[in-house]
Amino acid sequence: MRRGPIPFRRPGAALFLCLLLALPALARAQGGAAGEGASVSGRVTDTTGAPVPGAAVRVLRSDGTALRSGASDAGGEFRLAGLPAGRFRVRAERIGYGVAEREVRLARGEALRVELRLIAGAVQVEELVVRSTRDTQRERVRFETEAGVTTRVITGKELKVLPALGEADVLRAVEVLPGVVTTSDFSSAYNVRGGSADQNLILLDGFPIFNPFHLGGLFSVFNSDVVARAELLAGGFGAEYGGRVSSVLNVESRSDTTRRITGDAGVSLLAS
């Protein structure tokens, strides 16, 4: 019987065994190379020495690009690892503070600690410029003063020439305007946009007239000779006209500024 070491007859098996034994050494070598990267750690504080949490900390190259970035914790501490050797700038900034920056030089595998102090300051934002043009002001004045699409005006002269039943009547004249209808020829009450007659507010020089009818409702109580204009607001009227939901009829009387004494006489059974 032969004794002694058994020679390897397969070169591939011997090579595989050598590689298997060399793996731990390669892993240790790679770990040592990774551990040679430099790191920068430190603390971000304000002028009183209190920590500043949430500050953005960056390591910048010479051209201003960020190599590593992070943020300070609740105690103001930060750490940025895996840095190569060379000259860098460490910058810290936070909203409500100025910018703190330090220039550092790192050696291979060096662990450097720096202190960054932020100075509180106001945050400057871009100014807000508000310009007002004449066109905008003109449109605003027109919107506030001129009648809108839901407002119709009947002048005293127009009231005289409109077709009438016996005599000129403001409420009868309103019935020819858009959106206004009447349900009976024997009543001067009118309806606006589907509302009932009692939902119309009727004013004389700004004062409400609660019962503007006479002769059984056939005519209104307004004398057409003293009416300067009648303005009907069929919708979108202001808050000063409260208490009604359908329309507002504002009858304005004439204000004659002449000092002459004039008169007008007529006979009518309907106006009595």
Q: What span, in angstroms and rounded, lies between the C-alpha atoms of 197 and 244?
A: 10
Residues of the chain with pLDDT > 70: what percent? 74
Kindly give the pairing relationship between strand 151-155 and strand 227-233.
antiparallel
- Each residue's pLDDT tens digit, 131-146: 766 766 776 666 555 6
Kindly give the pairing relationship between strand 38-45 and strand 111-117.
parallel
- Each residue's pLDDT tens digit, 25-74: 555 544 444 446 899 999 999 999 999 999 999 999 989 899 999 999 99
> Which has the higher per-residue pLDDT, 65 or 186?
65
Report helix, strand or coil for 173: helix
- Each residue's pLDDT tens digit, 111-120: 999 999 999 8
Instruction: Enter the CATH code of domain 38-117.
Output: 2.60.40.1120
Q: Is the pLDDT of residue 197 over 50?
A: yes
Fold of 150-253: Ferric Hydroxamate Uptake Protein; Chain A, domain 1 (2.170.130)
- Each residue's pLDDT tens digit, 204-249: 988 998 888 877 778 788 888 888 899 888 877 777 777 778 889 9
Which residue(s) pair with 68 in the sheet? Answer: 59
Question: If you average pLDDT over residues 242-268, what whole number do you get?
Answer: 76
Residues of the chain with CATH 2.60.40.1120: 38-117
